Structure 1
Amino acid sequence: MAEDDSSLSVEPDVSADWHRLAPMALVFLLLTAVQKFVRENLFMFAGAGFGVAVFDWISLREALLIACGLGLMGLVGTMIFHRRFRFRIEDDAVRVRRGLLEKKELRVRFARVQSVQINQPFYFKPFELVRFTLETPGGQEAEVELPGIPRRLAEQMRDHIVGLRRVQASQTRPVDVAAEQAQVPADPSGGDRLYEASTWRLFRHGLSSNQIWLLAGLAAWFFGTFSEQFGAWADRQGWLDLIDASVFQSLWLLLGALVVFGLGFLLLLSGLLSIIRFHDFRLSDLEDRLVGVGGLLNRQEQTVKREKITGLTLKQSGLGRLLSCWHIVVRQTSSVEQEMPGKKKSFIVPGLNEEDLGLIGALVPGWHFPERQQGIDARFRQIFWRRTAGLVFAVLGALVWFKEPGALFVSMVLIALLLMLAAIHLRWKQWGWSLDGRQLWIREGFLGHHFDVFDLDRVQQVQLRQSPYQRRHGLANLVLVLPQGLVTVPYLPVDEAVRLANQAIHSAETAALHRV
């Protein structure tokens, strides 16, 4: 896209012309299409033996021809989509035309944008191209995605959206371009540096994050699926008859060693993935916005307006408690009832120590970590203890009545019961809440910690729920509907729950500005 000297002004490159994506955007679109196809069809081909049945039905050459045909169709479709993709930057909005068989036009006003992301995959870097993404309140996915546009144009749009560069058309005074540019740092992370994450902190974040369990689940699923299919195929080939039976004598020892090795490998992989995702992470404060920059293969810059922040989530897993590792998720408006904080689009501050929690006040001025919190009623623990123990003893009694179980089986059941009762106690002990002015803190968790904090004027709906047991004992569950989802405080005294509900409604109704 040709630019003259006028593009150096403080305004974004507003033009009435429609622009195309760069040719390198084809790489991104093709990789995205392949990723989507694999994600949607992986379980169908890998699960239930369907993949093995298909390859038994057709030969390898036919499978390669089918794969080439599908790849060619995907390439042609991607080229058509790329050719029809157009975007235009207006004074206060961006307009996008796209579609493969059906053309669609979308116009998004900059005032509605709550988050801006600029990603630069490694294959875009030599060409100074980026992927520009806009998110609006209530959207499950990115509202606007422009892959393969010049970095200069993306940065101009970003600065215009966050309010650092304003359209000067309505002003009669001349604009001092040099002075305006001096106020806007060329590097978005060049403001007040709030936090930097070292490589060890990022590795520790990967060790303590919940993605280790996701990797373990995927590994177990793949091992279970493909080992069964490989065993059946090896049996048909007659390979199992060639194995000496003495090999199976140390099978349990081998399985134990594989589990330990696999767990260590997954921990290492989780730490390395965290380093790749957040490499050289820097969090900066540019007055009315927060900017997080990090990433190795995909350098990502996330910009969030402070006025669009609806809350914070502080998380520390069970392993994170041993490593003293926290991370913060900046919450924004979402149409998903329970948004996953670990989603890729989430604004995450990784690898925090205990002493770094003072960063909360820098993210949202006036907020600070509470010193004390109130717990919930002990009847939460009592009722679940009774129900769990009653169910276990009922099942055990039925087994004793119809068939006398062995002492080992009964001992294992009793040990499992004790573990469940201990888990209920830990769950009850982690519940808590604290009201600090207008900020409500809610704590939950099991082995780790999970804190949610938000202003009461963010509450959109309040619900008080009571079971028959709770009504008899004067208790209630307080459910608050927020722009980012639901939060619940169970087993509160009714008077306390009503007071919090009324205070939340009053704060929302008297708020000077609804900042959703």
Structure 2
Amino acid sequence: DFLLPGDIWDPRRLLDMLGLEDLFAALDIAARVMSIIAALFSLLVIGLLGGVIRTVLREHGFRLDRTETGFRRRRGLITLTDVVMPLHRIQAAVIATGPLRRRLGWFELKVQSLASDSDKESDHAIAPLAHADEVRAILNETGIRWDTDYPEMQPVDPAMWWVPLVFALPVPMIGIGVSATFANPWLFLLYALLPAVPLCSRLHWRAHRYALEGTQLYVRDGFWAQRLTLLPLRRVQSVDITQSAVGRFIGLAEIEIGVAGRSSPVTIHAIPLDDAIALRSRLLALS
């Protein structure tokens, strides 16, 4: 407290320390906006480069071998990890991708085991970048199938995206109006960003789907970071049905499926209560 001034994080003080305060003050509004956009773009580029460097350090020399008991995975440039995963310990599989990676035909395959990864991860990455046929070839060794995908899966109720907006969106709308009235009228420009909130919520709802095929459950979620969970029903530990106050009013519920070795349950949101009860009965009957 006695070494640093109280306004050490003041942006103008930081600009003064860098010798840029006079230059920034001389710029007009358009130049200031462009400088902020340029700074954000620079942060984006730095983030992308940091992600590439981190991936190279972690995945360098990646090798997956089929052993007598399961899989052996080796990877790492600076820190080499050598992990053996018995097949009978694998509880579920997760296929991760994104809009761009999916268009290029790339997927990441992780398996959920009773033990966490040596890299402090909850899942074991056994194929960080693979084509669909390569992913299926690995899954065949585990007895987990990948027989369905987004078009064949069942969507959930649209209330998943509009109900949170009804209760959450008025708060920032009022906050922006009050702040712009008493602080700075330029804050009214933040209203232009609000349409992105329902758009993101709707995209998240459209991405969330599920399917029960034979003795395996498929749950898909995420628009940008897409995750498809493949859960054999023999690995189901518990099935819970929960309803919020709003869910009870509109007749919707969510199912939480407990899996050994997973920190959080596999969740299906916003399905009718009768469908949730029927699905729970099927899950427990086949598990």
TM-score (ref. length: structure 2): 0.77
Instruction: Indicate which of 161, 181, 190 corresponds to 1:412.
Output: 190
Question: 1:326 deviation in Å?
Answer: 2.4
2:229 is matched with 452
| Counterpart residue identity of residue 157, structure 2 | D
Deviations 1:3-29 (A, max 9, x none): xxxxxxxxxxxxxxxxxxxxxxxxxxx
Instruction: Indicate which of 161, 166, 169 corresponds to 1:386.
Output: 166
Distance 1:419-1:257 versus aligned 2 partners, 3 A rule = closer
Question: 1:504 deviation in Å?
Answer: 2.6
Asked whether the equivalents of residues 64 and 73 of structure 2 are also in contact (C-alpha less than 8 Å), the reply is yes
Instruction: Indicate which of 367, 373, 377 corresponds to 2:145.
Output: 367
- Greater share of residues in strand: 2
Matched, 1:331 2:112: yes
* Count of residue pairs the alignment pairs up: 275
Distance 1:293-1:507 versus aligned 2 partners, 3 A rule = same
Identity of aligned residues (%): 19
Provide the rounded CA distance (Å) in 2 between the counterparts of 1:259 and 1:304. 42
Provide the rounded CA distance (Å) in 1 between the counterparts of 2:176 and 2:45. 37
| Counterpart residue identity of residue 274, structure 2 | D
Asked whether the equivalents of residues 179 and 187 of structure 2 are also in contact (C-alpha less than 8 Å), the reply is no
Distance 1:384-1:249 versus aligned 2 partners, 3 A rule = same
Distance 1:392-1:270 versus aligned 2 partners, 3 A rule = closer
| Counterpart residue identity of residue 82, structure 2 | E
Question: 1:495 deviation in Å?
Answer: 2.2
Distance 1:410-1:347 versus aligned 2 partners, 3 A rule = same
| Counterpart residue identity of residue 45, structure 2 | G
1:263 is matched with 44
| Counterpart residue identity of residue 145, structure 2 | W
Instruction: Indicate which of 242, 260, 278 corresponds to 2:59.
Output: 278
| Map 1:469-508 → 2, pairs under 5 A | 469-483=246-260, 484-485=262-263, 486-508=265-287
Runs of 4+ in structure 1 over 6 Å off? 225-229, 339-342, 396-400, 402-405
Asked whether the equivalents of residues 176 and 190 of structure 2 are also in contact (C-alpha less than 8 Å), the reply is no
Provide the rounded CA distance (Å) in 2 between the counterparts of 1:384 and 1:355. 38
Provide the rounded CA distance (Å) in 2 between the counterparts of 1:443 and 1:506. 22
Distance 1:441-1:419 versus aligned 2 partners, 3 A rule = same
Question: 1:351 deviation in Å?
Answer: 1.5
Matched, 1:299 2:77: no
Matched, 1:352 2:130: yes
Provide the rounded CA distance (Å) in 1 between the counterparts of 2:277 and 2:176. 42
| Counterpart residue identity of residue 286, structure 1 | T
Asked whether the equivalents of residues 302 and 347 of structure 1 are also in contact (C-alpha less than 8 Å), the reply is no
| Counterpart residue identity of residue 386, structure 1 | V
Asked whether the equivalents of residues 93 and 112 of structure 2 are also in contact (C-alpha less than 8 Å), the reply is yes
Gap runs ≥5 in structure 1: 1-48, 54-224, 509-516
Question: 1:343 deviation in Å?
Answer: 3.5
Q: Mark the structure with the bigger radius of gyration.
A: 1
Provide the rounded CA distance (Å) in 1 between the counterparts of 2:183 and 2:45. 41
Provide the rounded CA distance (Å) in 1 between the counterparts of 2:162 and 2:182. 31
Distance 1:403-1:319 versus aligned 2 partners, 3 A rule = same
Question: 1:491 deviation in Å?
Answer: 1.2
Asked whether the equivalents of residues 107 and 132 of structure 2 are also in contact (C-alpha less than 8 Å), the reply is yes
Asked whether the equivalents of residues 457 and 505 of structure 1 are also in contact (C-alpha less than 8 Å), the reply is no
Question: 1:269 deviation in Å?
Answer: 2.9
Distance 1:394-1:292 versus aligned 2 partners, 3 A rule = same
Asked whether the equivalents of residues 360 and 368 of structure 1 are also in contact (C-alpha less than 8 Å), the reply is no
Q: Secondary structure at the match of 1:460?
A: strand
Question: 1:425 deviation in Å?
Answer: 0.4
Provide the rounded CA distance (Å) in 1 between the counterparts of 2:183 and 2:58. 55
Provide the rounded CA distance (Å) in 2 between the counterparts of 1:341 and 1:376. 36
Deviations 1:234-264 (A, max 9, x none): 86xxx96xx8934764684665545434432
2:156 is matched with 376
Gap runs ≥5 in structure 2: none
Deviations 1:442-498 (A, max 9, x none): 111132311112112222222111123322333211111111131111111222211
Deviations 1:87-126 (A, max 9, x none): xxxxxxxxxxxxxxxxxxxxxxxxxxxxxxxxxxxxxxxx
| Counterpart residue identity of residue 71, structure 2 | L
1:201 is matched with none
Question: 1:332 deviation in Å?
Answer: 1.1
Asked whether the equivalents of residues 358 and 369 of structure 1 are also in contact (C-alpha less than 8 Å), the reply is no
Provide the rounded CA distance (Å) in 2 between the counterparts of 1:330 and 1:264. 31
Distance 1:296-1:474 versus aligned 2 partners, 3 A rule = same
Distance 1:467-1:262 versus aligned 2 partners, 3 A rule = closer
RMSD between superposed Cα atoms in Å: 3.8
TM-score (ref. length: structure 1): 0.46
1:431 is matched with 208
Question: 1:366 deviation in Å?
Answer: 4.6
Distance 1:264-1:403 versus aligned 2 partners, 3 A rule = closer
Distance 1:489-1:304 versus aligned 2 partners, 3 A rule = same
Asked whether the equivalents of residues 58 and 76 of structure 2 are also in contact (C-alpha less than 8 Å), the reply is yes
Provide the rounded CA distance (Å) in 2 between the counterparts of 1:283 and 1:256. 43
